[in-house]
Amino acid sequence: MDQQVEAWRDGTLSSSRRRLSRRRSIIGSMVALIVAAGLGWLAWHLTKPDAAPGASGPGRGAPATTVGVAAAERADIPVVLEALGTVTPVVTVTVRPQVGGVLQKVLFQEGQMVKAGQLLATIDPRQYEMALMQASGQRQRDEAQLDSAKVTLQRFRTLLEQDSIARQEVDTQAALVKQLEGTVMGDRAAEGTARLNLGYSRIVAPISGRVGLRVVDVGNVVGANDAKGIVVITQVSPIDVQFAVPQDRVPDVQARVSEGAVLPVTALDRMRAGTLDAGRFLTLDNQIDTQTGTVRAKARFDNAKFTLFPNQFVNVRLLLRTIRGGVMVPVSALRHGSNGDFVYVLNTAERTAALRPVTRGQATVDKVEITAGLQAGEKVITEGADRLKDGAKVMLAGDKPAPAGKGKRRRAPEASAP
């Protein structure tokens, strides 16, 4: 009997435990579902849009967005082409001696400005003076023989008229005269060459410019075949700047050049902070570089203050033309969407932002031209436009916020049932 009671008790306890375990699992599942639903609602609440798709304004009850505005204004717009350029001298000459000899004097200082024809150095001229004297003596001797032969020929012709001499002798003398005339002509050429070589012993500047570092010193033997020469002269005034023009802009440049316009060019330093010099556009190259898709161009500068140095890198600004009276807005006001460019125009009375499609034109560093869709004087939103939609409420920095309860309607009391 006692064993039956104990078995009954054990069965009752096992059944109670199973019911308790099942109840706990059900409660745990419900709690997990409640927590998941709460997290989902919280995520939806944080990421929900302000307005339904296709609505003309923000969601109901959305607060006004503080924005910055600027007025569209008319201004002259320079159409410029900017590029990186390299300063190149108009002429660079390596001064080499044209005759050989010992370098006797160097009459320039390194870095000095020289003029064309200025004496730079001298080579020992004595051997060339001797050669000139020898050529002059040979010429004088042959000229004397020529004069004697001419006198003899005249005498033979007189005797021939008197029939006192054979014609053969006259012809022979005439041939001797012509031979001596050729000899004298060769002597004169040899004398001129000797005089020229003597002049080459004085090395003069072929162009005006700035001399570089001296290559050889006094006492060295120099010759006409020396590759390095004596010094390099670079013309620095005027001076050129070479830069690359994109192939898409080449027609604009050619059109302006064909009109006879003088295109001003400005050379800026590498930080674009200071102007080095102002010049004019000179010419375009005759072919496009297939690797870069650009055409080399050249501008010329007077470089009166020597602010441009050969092989210097500068920023080039080429002014193609100027658009008069264009509608300009800050660059930050222009937005880009799937349907094209647009701006947000401020409705001052209602403090709302209206989306306005526009057509952009030329742009400067901080402003852009609007060719269609906007009038001068209208205010556009420049700051805070990322959070706006068409018809959204906006607030300027100086506006006072509206009271918390303003704009809310009271709920009408429910009618009592009869």
The Cα–Cα gap between 94 and 362 comes to 47
Q: Two tokens at 230?
A: 């004596």
Higher pLDDT, 64 or 355: 355
End-to-end CA distance of the chain: 71
Whether the per-residue pLDDT at 90 is higher than 90: the answer is: yes
What b-and-e string marks burial along 180-206, b requiring 16 or more CB atoms within 10 Å of the CB? beebbeebbebbeebbebbebbebbbe
Whether the per-residue pLDDT at 82 is higher than 60: the answer is: yes
Tally Cβ neighbours within 10 Å of residue 350: 11
The average pLDDT across 377-394 equals 83
335-337 and 392-396 strand pairing: unpaired
264-268 and 92-95 strand pairing: unpaired
Strand ranges (DSSP E) for 197-339?
Answer: 202-204, 209-211, 221-222, 231-234, 239-246, 264-268, 275-284, 294-301, 313-330, 335-337
Which of the listed CATH numbers 2.60.40.10, 2.130.10.10, 2.40.30.170, 1.10.357.10 matches domain 63-90+235-397?
2.40.30.170
Per-residue pLDDT of 156-211, as tens digits, reads 888 888 888 888 988 998 999 999 999 999 999 999 999 999 999 999 999 999 99
The Cα–Cα gap between 12 and 19 comes to 11
Domain boundaries, the chain: 63-90+235-397, 92-233
Q: Which residues contact 270 (CB under 8 A, 6 or more apart)?
A: 313, 314, 315
**292: phi > 0 → left, psi -120 to 50 → alpha, else beta; which?**
alpha
Q: What angle do CA 227, 233, 239 make, to 5 degrees?
A: 130
Q: Lowest-confidence range among 18-22, 158-162, 192-196, 321-325?
A: 18-22
Per-residue pLDDT of 197-250, as tens digits, reads 999 999 999 999 999 999 999 999 999 888 889 999 999 999 999 999 999 999
CATH 2.40.50.100 for domain 92-233, yes or no, is yes
DSSP single-letter state for residue 289: B
Whether the per-residue pLDDT at 416 is higher than 50: the answer is: no
Band the pLDDT of 389: cuts 50, 70, 90: confident
The average pLDDT across 282-307 equals 93
The average pLDDT across 61-82 equals 82
The average pLDDT across 268-283 equals 92
Higher pLDDT, 60 or 108: 108
Contact 266, 240 (CB under 8 A): no
Q: Lowest-confidence range among 133-142, 251-260, 377-386, 408-417?
A: 408-417
